[in-house]
Structure 1
Amino acid sequence: MNTRQAPLPGGRHLVLSLGGLLALLLFWGIGVWLLRDGMGMASAFSPAKALSSLWQLLADNQLTSHTLVSLKRVAVGLFFALLIGVPLGLAIGASRKFESTTSGAFQFLRMVSPLSWMPIAVMLFGIGDAPIYFLLAFAAVWPIILNTAAGVRQLDRGWLLLAHSLSATRWETLRRIVLPGALGHILTGLRLAIGIVWIILVPCEMLGVSSGLGYFILDTRDRLAYSELMAAIVLIGALGFVLDAAAQHLHRHWMRGRH
Protein backbone atom coordinates (compact mmCIF):
# COMPACT_ATOMS: atom_id res chain seq x y z
CA MET A 1 0.00 0.00 0.00
CA ASN A 2 1.34 3.42 -0.97
CA THR A 3 1.35 5.64 2.14
CA ARG A 4 3.02 8.62 0.50
CA GLN A 5 1.00 11.76 1.19
CA ALA A 6 0.39 14.46 -1.38
CA PRO A 7 1.92 17.87 -0.56
CA LEU A 8 -0.42 20.48 0.84
CA PRO A 9 -1.47 23.39 -1.38
CA GLY A 10 0.83 26.38 -1.08
CA GLY A 11 -1.72 28.62 0.66
CA ARG A 12 -2.70 26.02 3.24
CA HIS A 13 0.93 25.17 3.91
CA LEU A 14 1.71 28.85 4.53
CA VAL A 15 -1.25 29.27 6.90
CA LEU A 16 -0.25 26.18 8.91
CA SER A 17 3.38 27.35 9.06
CA LEU A 18 2.37 30.77 10.34
CA GLY A 19 0.06 29.10 12.85
CA GLY A 20 2.96 27.04 14.15
CA LEU A 21 5.11 30.15 14.54
CA LEU A 22 2.33 31.96 16.39
CA ALA A 23 1.95 28.96 18.71
CA LEU A 24 5.69 29.06 19.38
CA LEU A 25 5.46 32.76 20.28
CA LEU A 26 2.51 31.99 22.55
CA PHE A 27 4.40 29.26 24.43
CA TRP A 28 7.40 31.57 24.70
CA GLY A 29 5.25 34.30 26.23
CA ILE A 30 3.54 31.87 28.61
CA GLY A 31 6.90 30.52 29.76
CA VAL A 32 8.18 34.03 30.54
CA TRP A 33 4.92 34.84 32.36
CA LEU A 34 5.19 31.70 34.52
CA LEU A 35 8.79 32.57 35.48
CA ARG A 36 8.14 36.23 36.27
CA ASP A 37 7.73 35.68 40.04
CA GLY A 38 10.67 33.32 40.56
CA MET A 39 13.08 35.17 38.26
CA GLY A 40 13.04 38.94 38.42
CA MET A 41 14.71 39.44 35.03
CA ALA A 42 12.35 37.07 33.19
CA SER A 43 10.50 39.99 31.59
CA ALA A 44 13.68 40.96 29.73
CA PHE A 45 13.36 37.71 27.75
CA SER A 46 9.74 38.33 26.69
CA PRO A 47 8.75 38.08 23.00
CA ALA A 48 7.57 41.71 22.95
CA LYS A 49 10.92 43.08 24.18
CA ALA A 50 12.93 40.72 21.98
CA LEU A 51 11.03 41.67 18.83
CA SER A 52 11.18 45.35 19.74
CA SER A 53 14.96 45.11 20.25
CA LEU A 54 15.33 43.20 16.98
CA TRP A 55 13.47 45.91 15.10
CA GLN A 56 15.62 48.60 16.73
CA LEU A 57 18.88 46.76 16.06
CA LEU A 58 17.97 46.24 12.41
CA ALA A 59 16.80 49.83 12.00
CA ASP A 60 20.08 51.12 13.46
CA ASN A 61 22.16 48.64 11.39
CA GLN A 62 23.79 47.34 14.57
CA LEU A 63 23.28 43.73 13.52
CA THR A 64 23.90 44.15 9.79
CA SER A 65 27.70 43.83 9.87
CA HIS A 66 27.58 40.85 12.27
CA THR A 67 25.01 39.10 10.07
CA LEU A 68 27.01 39.65 6.89
CA VAL A 69 30.19 38.36 8.53
CA SER A 70 28.39 35.22 9.72
CA LEU A 71 26.87 34.59 6.29
CA LYS A 72 30.29 35.01 4.67
CA ARG A 73 31.77 32.43 7.03
CA VAL A 74 28.96 30.02 6.25
CA ALA A 75 29.47 30.51 2.50
CA VAL A 76 33.23 29.93 2.73
CA GLY A 77 32.80 26.86 4.93
CA LEU A 78 30.24 25.37 2.55
CA PHE A 79 32.45 26.17 -0.45
CA PHE A 80 35.36 24.19 0.98
CA ALA A 81 33.02 21.39 2.06
CA LEU A 82 31.69 21.09 -1.49
CA LEU A 83 35.19 21.37 -2.95
CA ILE A 84 36.34 18.43 -0.83
CA GLY A 85 33.13 16.47 -0.36
CA VAL A 86 31.85 16.17 -3.93
CA PRO A 87 35.03 14.63 -5.43
CA LEU A 88 35.37 12.26 -2.47
CA GLY A 89 31.70 11.29 -2.73
CA LEU A 90 32.06 10.64 -6.46
CA ALA A 91 35.13 8.45 -5.85
CA ILE A 92 33.43 6.51 -3.03
CA GLY A 93 30.28 5.97 -5.08
CA ALA A 94 32.22 4.81 -8.12
CA SER A 95 34.73 2.49 -6.43
CA ARG A 96 33.88 -0.19 -3.87
CA LYS A 97 37.59 -0.61 -3.09
CA PHE A 98 37.97 3.10 -2.31
CA GLU A 99 34.81 2.99 -0.21
CA SER A 100 36.12 0.03 1.80
CA THR A 101 39.50 1.71 2.26
CA THR A 102 38.09 4.99 3.53
CA SER A 103 34.90 3.93 5.33
CA GLY A 104 36.53 3.17 8.68
CA ALA A 105 38.53 6.39 8.85
CA PHE A 106 35.65 8.53 7.61
CA GLN A 107 33.15 7.01 10.04
CA PHE A 108 35.58 7.61 12.90
CA LEU A 109 36.13 11.25 11.94
CA ARG A 110 32.44 11.85 11.24
CA MET A 111 31.51 10.84 14.77
CA VAL A 112 33.87 13.36 16.37
CA SER A 113 32.09 16.61 17.20
CA PRO A 114 33.50 19.47 15.11
CA LEU A 115 33.65 21.59 18.27
CA SER A 116 36.14 19.09 19.72
CA TRP A 117 38.65 20.36 17.19
CA MET A 118 38.44 23.97 18.38
CA PRO A 119 41.69 23.98 20.43
CA ILE A 120 43.59 22.22 17.65
CA ALA A 121 42.13 24.56 15.02
CA VAL A 122 43.33 27.59 17.00
CA MET A 123 46.81 26.10 17.40
CA LEU A 124 47.04 25.34 13.68
CA PHE A 125 45.42 28.44 12.18
CA GLY A 126 45.64 31.04 14.95
CA ILE A 127 42.93 33.45 16.02
CA GLY A 128 40.55 34.78 13.37
CA ASP A 129 38.40 33.46 10.57
CA ALA A 130 40.66 30.59 9.46
CA PRO A 131 39.83 28.18 12.34
CA ILE A 132 36.13 28.96 11.90
CA TYR A 133 36.33 28.10 8.20
CA PHE A 134 38.04 24.82 9.10
CA LEU A 135 35.45 23.86 11.72
CA LEU A 136 32.50 24.73 9.47
CA ALA A 137 33.94 22.86 6.51
CA PHE A 138 34.74 19.84 8.70
CA ALA A 139 31.15 19.76 9.95
CA ALA A 140 29.58 20.22 6.50
CA VAL A 141 31.68 17.81 4.47
CA TRP A 142 30.20 14.54 5.77
CA PRO A 143 26.57 14.87 4.57
CA ILE A 144 27.90 16.04 1.21
CA ILE A 145 30.21 13.02 0.89
CA LEU A 146 27.53 10.52 1.91
CA ASN A 147 24.79 11.95 -0.30
CA THR A 148 27.08 12.36 -3.30
CA ALA A 149 28.16 8.72 -2.99
CA ALA A 150 24.52 7.64 -2.70
CA GLY A 151 23.69 9.66 -5.82
CA VAL A 152 26.41 7.92 -7.81
CA ARG A 153 25.28 4.46 -6.69
CA GLN A 154 21.68 5.04 -7.78
CA LEU A 155 22.65 5.99 -11.35
CA ASP A 156 21.09 3.91 -14.10
CA ARG A 157 23.91 1.66 -15.29
CA GLY A 158 22.37 1.67 -18.74
CA TRP A 159 23.43 5.30 -19.18
CA LEU A 160 26.99 4.44 -18.21
CA LEU A 161 27.04 1.52 -20.65
CA LEU A 162 25.67 3.80 -23.37
CA ALA A 163 28.42 6.34 -22.71
CA HIS A 164 31.01 3.58 -22.87
CA SER A 165 29.58 2.27 -26.14
CA LEU A 166 29.78 5.77 -27.61
CA SER A 167 33.46 5.97 -26.58
CA ALA A 168 32.82 8.86 -24.22
CA THR A 169 35.84 9.94 -22.21
CA ARG A 170 35.83 9.81 -18.42
CA TRP A 171 35.43 13.58 -18.27
CA GLU A 172 32.49 13.49 -20.68
CA THR A 173 30.84 10.69 -18.71
CA LEU A 174 31.36 12.60 -15.47
CA ARG A 175 30.11 15.91 -16.86
CA ARG A 176 27.12 14.66 -18.86
CA ILE A 177 25.90 11.62 -16.87
CA VAL A 178 27.37 11.24 -13.39
CA LEU A 179 27.15 14.82 -12.12
CA PRO A 180 23.66 15.56 -13.53
CA GLY A 181 22.41 12.20 -12.24
CA ALA A 182 23.83 12.73 -8.75
CA LEU A 183 23.07 16.45 -8.46
CA GLY A 184 19.76 15.91 -6.66
CA HIS A 185 21.55 13.95 -3.93
CA ILE A 186 24.34 16.55 -3.80
CA LEU A 187 21.75 19.28 -3.21
CA THR A 188 20.18 17.17 -0.45
CA GLY A 189 23.60 16.88 1.15
CA LEU A 190 24.07 20.62 0.81
CA ARG A 191 20.78 21.27 2.57
CA LEU A 192 21.77 19.00 5.45
CA ALA A 193 25.19 20.67 5.57
CA ILE A 194 23.60 24.12 5.81
CA GLY A 195 21.61 23.01 8.84
CA ILE A 196 24.69 21.58 10.57
CA VAL A 197 26.88 24.58 9.78
CA TRP A 198 24.28 27.07 10.97
CA ILE A 199 23.95 25.22 14.29
CA ILE A 200 27.68 25.18 15.09
CA LEU A 201 28.36 28.66 13.70
CA VAL A 202 27.47 30.46 16.95
CA PRO A 203 29.85 28.51 19.24
CA CYS A 204 32.56 28.80 16.58
CA GLU A 205 32.15 32.58 16.58
CA MET A 206 32.81 32.62 20.31
CA LEU A 207 36.36 31.59 19.40
CA GLY A 208 38.33 34.81 19.84
CA VAL A 209 36.74 36.88 17.06
CA SER A 210 35.25 40.36 17.29
CA SER A 211 32.35 40.05 14.86
CA GLY A 212 29.55 37.71 13.91
CA LEU A 213 26.28 36.66 15.52
CA GLY A 214 28.02 34.38 18.02
CA TYR A 215 30.24 37.24 19.14
CA PHE A 216 27.19 39.51 19.40
CA ILE A 217 25.50 37.01 21.75
CA LEU A 218 28.55 36.99 24.02
CA ASP A 219 28.63 40.79 23.93
CA THR A 220 24.96 41.10 24.91
CA ARG A 221 25.51 38.65 27.76
CA ASP A 222 28.41 40.71 29.10
CA ARG A 223 26.35 43.90 28.81
CA LEU A 224 23.33 42.20 30.46
CA ALA A 225 21.30 43.25 27.40
CA TYR A 226 19.04 40.23 27.51
CA SER A 227 16.37 41.57 25.18
CA GLU A 228 19.07 42.10 22.53
CA LEU A 229 20.37 38.59 23.21
CA MET A 230 16.92 37.16 22.53
CA ALA A 231 16.65 39.37 19.45
CA ALA A 232 19.88 37.83 18.12
CA ILE A 233 18.51 34.34 18.79
CA VAL A 234 15.32 35.17 16.88
CA LEU A 235 17.40 36.51 13.98
CA ILE A 236 19.56 33.38 13.93
CA GLY A 237 16.45 31.21 13.77
CA ALA A 238 14.91 33.35 11.01
CA LEU A 239 18.08 33.33 8.90
CA GLY A 240 18.47 29.58 9.33
CA PHE A 241 14.86 29.13 8.22
CA VAL A 242 15.50 31.24 5.11
CA LEU A 243 18.71 29.38 4.23
CA ASP A 244 17.01 26.00 4.57
CA ALA A 245 14.02 27.17 2.52
CA ALA A 246 16.37 28.42 -0.21
CA ALA A 247 18.20 25.07 -0.32
CA GLN A 248 14.89 23.20 -0.39
CA HIS A 249 13.61 25.41 -3.22
CA LEU A 250 16.80 24.83 -5.20
CA HIS A 251 16.42 21.07 -4.80
CA ARG A 252 12.76 21.13 -5.83
CA HIS A 253 13.54 23.33 -8.83
CA TRP A 254 16.24 20.92 -10.00
CA MET A 255 14.06 17.86 -9.54
CA ARG A 256 11.11 19.52 -11.31
CA GLY A 257 13.34 20.49 -14.25
CA ARG A 258 14.81 17.01 -14.38
CA HIS A 259 11.39 15.38 -14.58
Structure 2
Amino acid sequence: MPSRKRQWWLGSAGLLSLLLAWWLGVEVLGSGQALAARFSPQATFASLFELLGSAQLYENVWVSLKRIVISLLMALLMGVPLGLLIGGSRNLEAATTPAFQFLRMISPLSWMPVVVMLMGVGDQPIYFLLTFAAVWPIVLNTVAGVRALDPRWLQLSRSLSATRWETLRRVILPGVVGHVLTGVRLSIGILWIVLVPCEMLGVSAGLGYFILDTRDRLAYSELMAMVVLIGVLGFALDAFARGLHRRWAHAG
Protein backbone atom coordinates (compact mmCIF):
# COMPACT_ATOMS: atom_id res chain seq x y z
CA MET A 1 0.00 0.00 0.00
CA PRO A 2 1.43 3.44 -0.89
CA SER A 3 2.72 5.41 2.06
CA ARG A 4 0.24 8.27 1.72
CA LYS A 5 -2.74 5.93 1.42
CA ARG A 6 -1.55 3.93 4.43
CA GLN A 7 -1.24 7.12 6.47
CA TRP A 8 -4.79 8.10 5.47
CA TRP A 9 -6.19 4.75 6.58
CA LEU A 10 -4.27 4.83 9.86
CA GLY A 11 -5.41 8.39 10.55
CA SER A 12 -9.02 7.46 9.84
CA ALA A 13 -8.71 4.48 12.18
CA GLY A 14 -7.38 6.77 14.90
CA LEU A 15 -10.32 9.15 14.51
CA LEU A 16 -12.81 6.27 14.58
CA SER A 17 -11.14 4.98 17.75
CA LEU A 18 -11.51 8.42 19.32
CA LEU A 19 -15.19 8.50 18.35
CA LEU A 20 -15.70 5.04 19.82
CA ALA A 21 -13.99 6.05 23.07
CA TRP A 22 -16.27 9.10 23.26
CA TRP A 23 -19.37 6.96 22.78
CA LEU A 24 -18.23 4.39 25.33
CA GLY A 25 -17.34 7.11 27.83
CA VAL A 26 -20.83 8.60 27.65
CA GLU A 27 -22.49 5.17 27.81
CA VAL A 28 -20.43 3.94 30.77
CA LEU A 29 -19.92 7.09 32.84
CA GLY A 30 -23.37 8.52 32.10
CA SER A 31 -25.32 5.29 32.39
CA GLY A 32 -28.79 6.00 33.77
CA GLN A 33 -28.43 9.79 33.53
CA ALA A 34 -30.69 11.62 31.13
CA LEU A 35 -28.29 14.58 30.97
CA ALA A 36 -25.47 12.40 29.63
CA ALA A 37 -27.43 11.71 26.44
CA ARG A 38 -27.00 15.38 25.46
CA PHE A 39 -23.21 14.86 25.33
CA SER A 40 -23.37 11.76 23.17
CA PRO A 41 -21.91 11.70 19.65
CA GLN A 42 -25.39 11.21 18.18
CA ALA A 43 -26.82 14.34 19.83
CA THR A 44 -23.65 16.32 19.15
CA PHE A 45 -23.54 15.65 15.41
CA ALA A 46 -27.27 16.24 15.07
CA SER A 47 -26.83 19.68 16.66
CA LEU A 48 -23.75 20.34 14.55
CA PHE A 49 -25.66 19.73 11.31
CA GLU A 50 -28.40 22.08 12.52
CA LEU A 51 -25.86 24.77 13.41
CA LEU A 52 -24.24 24.51 9.97
CA GLY A 53 -27.42 25.97 8.55
CA SER A 54 -27.34 28.91 10.94
CA ALA A 55 -25.92 32.28 9.89
CA GLN A 56 -25.07 33.00 13.52
CA LEU A 57 -22.52 30.19 13.54
CA TYR A 58 -20.63 31.56 10.54
CA GLU A 59 -20.63 35.04 12.04
CA ASN A 60 -18.99 33.74 15.21
CA VAL A 61 -16.48 31.65 13.25
CA TRP A 62 -15.59 34.63 11.09
CA VAL A 63 -15.02 36.86 14.13
CA SER A 64 -12.75 34.27 15.75
CA LEU A 65 -10.74 33.68 12.57
CA LYS A 66 -10.34 37.43 12.09
CA ARG A 67 -8.91 37.73 15.61
CA ILE A 68 -6.50 34.88 14.91
CA VAL A 69 -5.27 36.41 11.64
CA ILE A 70 -4.86 39.95 12.99
CA SER A 71 -3.07 38.75 16.12
CA LEU A 72 -0.77 36.52 14.08
CA LEU A 73 0.09 39.39 11.75
CA MET A 74 0.89 41.65 14.71
CA ALA A 75 3.06 38.91 16.22
CA LEU A 76 4.91 38.56 12.90
CA LEU A 77 5.45 42.31 12.59
CA MET A 78 7.00 42.39 16.05
CA GLY A 79 8.57 38.96 16.27
CA VAL A 80 10.48 38.71 12.97
CA PRO A 81 12.38 42.03 13.23
CA LEU A 82 13.10 41.36 16.90
CA GLY A 83 14.33 37.86 16.09
CA LEU A 84 16.58 39.20 13.31
CA LEU A 85 18.11 41.75 15.67
CA ILE A 86 18.70 39.23 18.43
CA GLY A 87 20.02 36.59 16.05
CA GLY A 88 22.54 39.07 14.65
CA SER A 89 24.01 40.07 18.02
CA ARG A 90 25.39 37.73 20.67
CA ASN A 91 25.36 40.53 23.23
CA LEU A 92 21.72 41.37 22.56
CA GLU A 93 20.81 37.69 22.75
CA ALA A 94 22.55 37.35 26.12
CA ALA A 95 20.79 40.48 27.40
CA THR A 96 17.28 39.53 26.27
CA THR A 97 17.16 35.74 26.65
CA PRO A 98 16.51 35.64 30.44
CA ALA A 99 13.73 38.23 30.21
CA PHE A 100 12.10 36.60 27.19
CA GLN A 101 12.28 33.12 28.71
CA PHE A 102 10.67 34.49 31.87
CA LEU A 103 7.86 36.23 29.99
CA ARG A 104 7.06 33.38 27.62
CA MET A 105 6.65 30.96 30.52
CA ILE A 106 3.83 33.06 31.96
CA SER A 107 0.49 31.82 30.71
CA PRO A 108 -1.22 34.52 28.64
CA LEU A 109 -4.45 33.73 30.49
CA SER A 110 -2.87 34.82 33.76
CA TRP A 111 -2.73 38.36 32.35
CA MET A 112 -6.48 38.46 31.77
CA PRO A 113 -7.47 40.28 35.01
CA VAL A 114 -4.70 42.85 34.55
CA VAL A 115 -5.51 43.48 30.89
CA VAL A 116 -9.23 43.83 31.57
CA MET A 117 -8.57 46.38 34.32
CA LEU A 118 -6.26 48.38 32.04
CA MET A 119 -8.09 48.06 28.71
CA GLY A 120 -11.63 47.15 29.67
CA VAL A 121 -13.66 44.49 27.89
CA GLY A 122 -13.94 44.07 24.14
CA ASP A 123 -11.56 43.29 21.30
CA GLN A 124 -8.55 45.27 22.52
CA PRO A 125 -7.58 42.98 25.44
CA ILE A 126 -8.20 39.92 23.26
CA TYR A 127 -5.77 41.16 20.60
CA PHE A 128 -3.19 41.97 23.26
CA LEU A 129 -3.42 38.53 24.89
CA LEU A 130 -3.37 36.66 21.57
CA THR A 131 -0.41 38.64 20.26
CA PHE A 132 1.46 38.11 23.53
CA ALA A 133 0.86 34.38 23.22
CA ALA A 134 1.90 34.17 19.56
CA VAL A 135 5.02 36.33 19.48
CA TRP A 136 7.42 34.06 21.42
CA PRO A 137 7.56 31.08 19.03
CA ILE A 138 8.10 33.48 16.14
CA VAL A 139 10.92 35.35 17.92
CA LEU A 140 12.72 32.20 19.04
CA ASN A 141 12.43 30.44 15.68
CA THR A 142 13.62 33.54 13.82
CA VAL A 143 16.67 33.70 16.10
CA ALA A 144 17.30 30.01 15.44
CA GLY A 145 17.00 30.64 11.70
CA VAL A 146 19.59 33.41 11.78
CA ARG A 147 21.96 31.22 13.79
CA ALA A 148 21.50 28.37 11.29
CA LEU A 149 22.51 30.45 8.27
CA ASP A 150 25.54 29.17 6.38
CA PRO A 151 28.37 31.67 7.13
CA ARG A 152 29.70 31.18 3.61
CA TRP A 153 26.63 32.91 2.17
CA LEU A 154 27.25 35.91 4.40
CA GLN A 155 30.93 35.94 3.43
CA LEU A 156 29.97 35.80 -0.24
CA SER A 157 27.59 38.71 0.27
CA ARG A 158 30.35 40.78 1.88
CA SER A 159 32.82 39.84 -0.85
CA LEU A 160 30.35 41.15 -3.44
CA SER A 161 30.08 44.44 -1.53
CA ALA A 162 26.37 43.95 -0.91
CA THR A 163 24.69 46.51 1.30
CA ARG A 164 23.03 45.51 4.57
CA TRP A 165 19.62 45.80 2.96
CA GLU A 166 20.68 43.60 0.03
CA THR A 167 22.15 41.02 2.41
CA LEU A 168 18.97 41.03 4.45
CA ARG A 169 16.71 40.74 1.41
CA ARG A 170 18.77 38.27 -0.65
CA VAL A 171 20.42 36.10 2.00
CA ILE A 172 19.00 36.38 5.50
CA LEU A 173 15.25 36.56 4.87
CA PRO A 174 15.16 33.64 2.39
CA GLY A 175 17.30 31.65 4.81
CA VAL A 176 15.04 32.14 7.83
CA VAL A 177 11.62 31.82 6.21
CA GLY A 178 11.44 28.09 6.95
CA HIS A 179 12.12 28.73 10.63
CA VAL A 180 9.61 31.58 10.70
CA LEU A 181 6.94 29.31 9.25
CA THR A 182 7.72 26.75 11.95
CA GLY A 183 7.16 29.52 14.50
CA VAL A 184 3.91 30.46 12.75
CA ARG A 185 2.65 26.90 13.00
CA LEU A 186 3.47 26.76 16.71
CA SER A 187 1.85 30.16 17.22
CA ILE A 188 -1.36 29.07 15.49
CA GLY A 189 -1.65 26.14 17.88
CA ILE A 190 -1.15 28.39 20.89
CA LEU A 191 -3.52 31.04 19.53
CA TRP A 192 -6.30 28.53 18.96
CA ILE A 193 -5.98 27.26 22.55
CA VAL A 194 -5.90 30.74 24.09
CA LEU A 195 -8.63 32.19 21.84
CA VAL A 196 -11.67 30.49 23.40
CA PRO A 197 -11.10 31.61 27.02
CA CYS A 198 -10.13 35.08 25.78
CA GLU A 199 -13.47 35.36 23.98
CA MET A 200 -15.21 34.97 27.33
CA LEU A 201 -14.08 38.49 28.30
CA GLY A 202 -17.40 40.19 27.77
CA VAL A 203 -17.46 40.17 23.96
CA SER A 204 -20.62 39.57 21.98
CA ALA A 205 -19.29 37.31 19.21
CA GLY A 206 -16.77 34.53 18.71
CA LEU A 207 -16.50 30.83 19.41
CA GLY A 208 -15.79 31.36 23.11
CA TYR A 209 -18.82 33.62 23.43
CA PHE A 210 -20.97 31.08 21.60
CA ILE A 211 -19.88 28.33 24.01
CA LEU A 212 -20.93 30.49 26.97
CA ASP A 213 -24.22 31.18 25.23
CA THR A 214 -24.95 27.47 24.75
CA ARG A 215 -24.10 26.82 28.39
CA ASP A 216 -26.44 29.57 29.59
CA ARG A 217 -29.22 28.17 27.38
CA LEU A 218 -28.52 24.64 28.71
CA ALA A 219 -28.05 23.55 25.09
CA TYR A 220 -25.42 20.96 25.93
CA SER A 221 -25.52 19.13 22.62
CA GLU A 222 -24.83 22.44 20.86
CA LEU A 223 -21.99 23.07 23.32
CA MET A 224 -20.41 19.74 22.37
CA ALA A 225 -21.00 20.56 18.71
CA MET A 226 -19.00 23.75 19.19
CA VAL A 227 -16.20 21.79 20.86
CA VAL A 228 -16.06 19.46 17.85
CA LEU A 229 -16.14 22.41 15.44
CA ILE A 230 -13.28 24.12 17.29
CA GLY A 231 -11.24 20.94 16.91
CA VAL A 232 -12.00 20.71 13.19
CA LEU A 233 -11.12 24.35 12.53
CA GLY A 234 -7.93 24.08 14.57
CA PHE A 235 -6.95 20.94 12.62
CA ALA A 236 -7.59 22.78 9.34
CA LEU A 237 -5.48 25.78 10.40
CA ASP A 238 -2.60 23.52 11.41
CA ALA A 239 -2.85 21.61 8.13
CA PHE A 240 -2.69 24.93 6.25
CA ALA A 241 0.44 25.95 8.19
CA ARG A 242 2.03 22.54 7.57
CA GLY A 243 1.26 22.86 3.87
CA LEU A 244 2.97 26.26 3.69
CA HIS A 245 6.01 24.90 5.48
CA ARG A 246 6.27 21.84 3.22
CA ARG A 247 5.89 23.96 0.08
CA TRP A 248 8.63 26.34 1.18
CA ALA A 249 10.96 23.53 2.26
CA HIS A 250 10.37 21.73 -1.04
CA ALA A 251 11.01 24.94 -2.97
CA GLY A 252 14.20 25.47 -0.99
Normalised TM-score (structure 2): 0.97
2:78 is paired with a residue whose SS is: helix
Aligned ranges for residues 56-135 of structure 1 at < 5 Å?
A: 56-135=50-129
2:205 is paired with a residue whose SS is: coil
AA partner of residue 139 (structure 1): A
Alpha-carbon deviation of 1:35?
Answer: 2.2
CA separation in 2, counterparts of 1:212 and 1:161? 50
Alpha-carbon deviation of 1:91?
Answer: 1.1
Q: 2:49 aligns with which of 47, 51, 55?
A: 55
Question: What's 1:210 paired with?
Answer: 204
AA partner of residue 150 (structure 2): D
2:200 is paired with a residue whose SS is: coil
Question: What's 1:34 paired with?
Answer: 28
CA separation in 2, counterparts of 1:43 and 1:142? 42
Q: 2:250 aligns with which of 226, 251, 256?
A: 256
Question: What's 1:23 paired with?
Answer: 17
Question: What's 1:4 paired with?
Answer: none
Question: What's 1:227 paired with?
Answer: 221
Q: Once structures 1 and 2 are overlaid, which stretch shifts more, 30-39 or 199-208?
A: 30-39
Identity of aligned residues (%): 64
Alpha-carbon deviation of 1:190?
Answer: 0.3
CA separation in 1, counterparts of 2:135 and 2:17? 35
Give structure 1 regions of 4+ aligned residues with deviation exceeding 6 angstroms: none
CA separation in 2, counterparts of 1:87 and 1:25? 44
Q: Deviations over 1:163-193 (max 9, x none)?
A: 0111111111111110100110000000000
1:230 is paired with a residue whose SS is: helix
Question: What's 1:149 paired with?
Answer: 143
AA partner of residue 127 (structure 2): Y
AA partner of residue 133 (structure 1): Y
Alpha-carbon deviation of 1:104?
Answer: 1.4
Segments of structure 2 that go 5 or more residues without pairing to the other structure are: none
1:59 is paired with a residue whose SS is: coil
**Length, aligned pairs only:** 251
CA separation in 2, counterparts of 1:238 and 1:12? 22
CA separation in 2, counterparts of 1:170 and 1:102? 23
CA separation in 2, counterparts of 1:108 and 1:233? 32
1:201 is paired with a residue whose SS is: helix
Alpha-carbon deviation of 1:38?
Answer: 5.3
CA separation in 2, counterparts of 1:80 and 1:162? 33
Normalised TM-score (structure 1): 0.95
CA separation in 2, counterparts of 1:241 and 1:68? 16
1:31 is paired with a residue whose SS is: helix
AA partner of residue 152 (structure 1): V
> What do you get for the CA RMSD once the two structures are aligned?
1.0
Alpha-carbon deviation of 1:154?
Answer: 0.5
CA separation in 1, counterparts of 2:86 and 2:25? 49
AA partner of residue 194 (structure 2): I
CA separation in 2, counterparts of 1:71 and 1:133? 12
Alpha-carbon deviation of 1:197?
Answer: 0.4
Q: Once structures 1 and 2 are overlaid, which stretch shifts more, 214-223 or 117-126?
A: 117-126
CA separation in 2, counterparts of 1:18 and 1:95? 47
CA separation in 2, counterparts of 1:139 and 1:15? 35
2:55 is paired with a residue whose SS is: coil
Q: 1:247 aligns with which of 241, 248, 251?
A: 241
Question: What's 1:5 paired with?
Answer: none
